[in-house]
Amino acid sequence: MILPTDSVAIWTAATVVGLTAVLFALNSVASATIDPAEPPAIQPTIPFVGHLISMLTERGSWYRRLYKKSSLPIFTLPILNGKLYVMNSPALVQAAMRTPEISFDPFFAEFTNGMLGLNSRQAAVINNKKCMEELLQIIHTTLMGPPLHKVNVNALGYLAGELNKVPRDRSLQVANSFLWLRNHLTTATGVGLYGKNNPLADKAIDLLWTFNEGAISLSLGAPGFIFPRAVSARSGLNKRLNAYYAARHDEGDDVSDLIQKRAVKLREFGFQDEDWGEELILPWVGSTNTIPVSFWIFVHLFTNPDYLSRVRAEFEAILDRKEGPHGPVVSINVDHLESGKVEKTIPFLNAIWLEALRFYLHNVGIRRIMSDVSIKDGDGREYLLKKGVNIQWPPMVLHFLDSAWGTDAETFDPERFLNVPASVDKLRRGANVPFGGGKHLCPGRRFAMSEVLGLIGAVALGFDVKGLILPESRDPPVGHAPRVAVLHPGFKLSRRKGWEDVTFEFAG
């Protein structure tokens, strides 16, 4: 029986979920009238709210259904008294990424204010255009080249240390593969970014993932009281971050350039010791996509003997082995795992990575039209886009287009990323967008790749993973990207025969 208080809670939750969908789709100032030069409209079955209800109930399959039904490269969806554009054509997605009038900028302030619960001083700093541009510039330049190498070496060094703790004479029963990967990779990301005084270790891992449960809804403007667990986790994380920066741990030699330079910049713009909760955005973006994709790679690899033997052979070809005081030391040079190298050093594991991103990571691209502008599709057809309207590109459509991926697009097959002819590669531009694109193309993509492939490669090399199954997946709720596993299987982890005494290391 539903008690009155339960029904109030259900209605409140439903209202918030509905509000989340509205905010994800609409800019409240956009008008509903549609010019004939705008993308054709798909009217909802139930006026005003039909698309909203479908977005909530059908999740990602809503985008797929509308595209299958209409085959339109772009359409306009009237919702309430506003409208939303959705692009399904790779050429249009590329055009949108190149067009300055189609911008992500307004979302920075809108999203971070709600998600991070900024105080007025933090908000003033973050809403300062110059400061925001300089902070983004720091992110984009410190997650590449030598500064990234340092992050990779520190993160992978931590992971090697964890693998070396696996007992040499017995197996470990891991109850939940997702949690196992989550805990190791969240800590590795923290060590890579923040150094040995990583504020996101131990209990903070649970806090980060509890915060994640409400983060998207909060970013879209949902009131904090609906997500008390997420808000309380955020306070706990804020305290840890404030203590880290107050102690000036950000100035340590093992800290990434990213954290160091942002701290200098934020202090310059007025941040004080109690303002560092804003920097929670970094570990949050750094973990919430990386860990789900690592899970999908892990379950595919360790349930497929053919994949596993290919990956083992790739890592056996790049490792160095020497005798140490406590037995053999197997060393993998981090250079081999970095962007631009993996296509040659570990091509098959790299192909699994790319296929897992295509198949499971569906970050809906979101931008706002800043002034009336036209964009052209590949066939020369032009569409007028009106100021103030939000526009989206859904990977759940783009990543499965027959025209880009072939008729087996619905099958998980890493082979599609091996020996790709230039003509096919060209067709996939704009259809393969796990990291977004244009000015905002994810700057963390190279770090995520090295960290995940290094961990999984080392496990494949030195360990047996038994009892794992490949679970089914379902679409995530509105605003979330990774497809959700219907269960998180456990497994038994033991050292491989002949590798019992090996110590692993990642060399810089």
Contact call for residue 107 and ligand HEM (CB under 6 A): no
CA distance 90 to 112: 29
Contact call for residue 73 and ligand HEM (CB under 6 A): no
Provide, rounded to whole angstroms, the least separation between the CB of residue 447 and ligand HEM.
Answer: 5
Contact call for residue 356 and ligand HEM (CB under 6 A): no
Contact call for residue 90 and ligand HEM (CB under 6 A): no
Which has the closest alpha carbon to 342: 329, 353, 331, 355?
353
Which has the closest alpha carbon to 52: 81, 73, 72, 88?
81
b/e map 356-366, b = 16+ CB within 10 Å: bbbbbbbbbbb
Which lies closer to ligand HEM via its Cβ, residue 59 or residue 446? 446
CB 475 within 8 A of CB 61: yes
Which lies closer to ligand HEM via its Cβ, residue 355 or residue 495? 355
3-state DSSP assignment of residue 466 = strand
Contact call for residue 394 and ligand HEM (CB under 6 A): no
Which lies closer to ligand HEM via its Cβ, residue 117 or residue 430? 430
CA distance 317 to 305: 18
Provide, rounded to whole angstroms, the least separation between the CB of residue 404 and ligand HEM.
Answer: 18
Contact call for residue 479 and ligand HEM (CB under 6 A): no
CB 505 within 8 A of CB 330: yes
Provide, rounded to whole angstroms, the least separation between the CB of residue 25 and ligand HEM.
Answer: 16
- Joined tokens for residue 292: 């789900």
DSSP per-residue string spanning 357-381: HHHHB---EEEEE-S-EEEE-TTS-
- Binding segment for ligand HEM among 284-292, 339-347, 471-479, 484-492 (CB under 6 A)? 284-292
Provide, rounded to whole angstroms, the least separation between the CB of residue 351 and ligand HEM.
Answer: 15
Which lies closer to ligand HEM via its Cβ, residue 285 or residue 507? 285
Contact call for residue 144 and ligand HEM (CB under 6 A): no
Which lies closer to ligand HEM via its Cβ, residue 262 or residue 495? 262
CB 84 within 8 A of CB 66: no
**Could you tell me which residues come within 8 angstroms of residue 352 by beta carbon, excluding any fewer than 6 positions away?**
297, 300, 301, 307, 311, 414
CB 137 within 8 A of CB 261: no
Contact call for residue 476 and ligand HEM (CB under 6 A): no
Provide, rounded to whole angstroms, the least separation between the CB of residue 397 and ligand HEM.
Answer: 15
CA distance 458 to 469: 20
442 known ligand binder: yes
Positions 289 through 318 that interact with ligand HEM (CB under 6 A):
289-290, 293
- Count of residues in contact with ligand HEM, rule CB under 6 A: 24
Provide, rounded to whole angstroms, the least separation between the CB of residue 383 and ligand HEM.
Answer: 20
Which lies closer to ligand HEM via its Cβ, residue 295 or residue 462? 295
CA distance 225 to 242: 23
Of the residues 159, 255, 342, 448, which one makes contact with ligand HEM according to CB under 6 A:
448
Contact call for residue 442 and ligand HEM (CB under 6 A): yes
CA distance 433 to 399: 8
Which has the closest alpha carbon to 440: 110, 100, 189?
100
Q: What is the contact surface with ligand HEM in residues (CB under 6 A)?
A: 104, 136, 139, 285-286, 289-290, 293, 361, 363, 365, 434-438, 440-445, 447-448
